[in-house]
Chains A and B, each alone.
Chain A
């Protein structure tokens, strides 16, 4: 098992550009989620999904879109990047009930 994989590892964007952060898991986990990590603020939940075709907003969803067309993939889209979206993004997955959440290695995003 590769676990949770994320691409790219690093990305630099200009304000207003769009991009998609990819996340995939091969553990057949129903639940997937995206977090951003900023100094002094811990990890904040952006969006999550409890299964294919189902997504919902977390704490900080503004400026981000997600979709879940398959169990394995959960891409995060930035439609028009802003400097405030400079952060480290982590994708995670787990089974729905009483299970540990597994994290990907993260994507470092810099928006200029």
Chain B
């Protein structure tokens, strides 16, 4: 069965620090990849997605992610985080019609 691994469960950064959250998936076929964000007390919102084409995708709020097919990875990056980026981040993959999520990474940005 397809699965998604997020290696960092909790990340603490200071404002202006750079962010990289890891995501690996296990599925050999065609995949659609997503990063969702969940701010405290809110439901999930889409940050960015990859379906095909340029493997470097840009999303909202300055986030970007790079799809590396050979590594089965889709890491999320942001050059300079803000306090308002404090949230939980979920990587997800659509494979065989189903959207499967990783366990999430809680990011805390201290002012």
Contact = CB atoms under 8 A, between A and B. Distances in A.
Contact of B98 (A41, A45, A100): A45
A19 B33 CA distance: 34
Interface in B93-111: 94, 97-104
B17 interface: no
A33 B94 CA distance: 13
Given A58-B98, A98-B51, A106 B43 contact: yes
A44 B101 CA distance: 7
A100 B90 contact: no
Contacts of B90: 42-43
Contact of A96 (B49, B97, B100, B101): B97
B9 A104 contact: no
A58 B97 CA distance: 11
The B interface, classified by DSSP as helix, strand, loop or mixed, is strand
B84 interface: no
Ranked 4 nearest A-B pairs via Cβ: A42-B103, A43-B101, A42-B101, A103-B44
B40 to A, nearest CB: 13
B35 to A, nearest CB: 11
A101 B43 contact: no
12 contacts: A42-B90, A43-B101, A45-B98, A58-B98, A90-B44, A98-B51, A100-B34, A100-B46, A100-B49, A101-B94, A104-B43, A106-B43
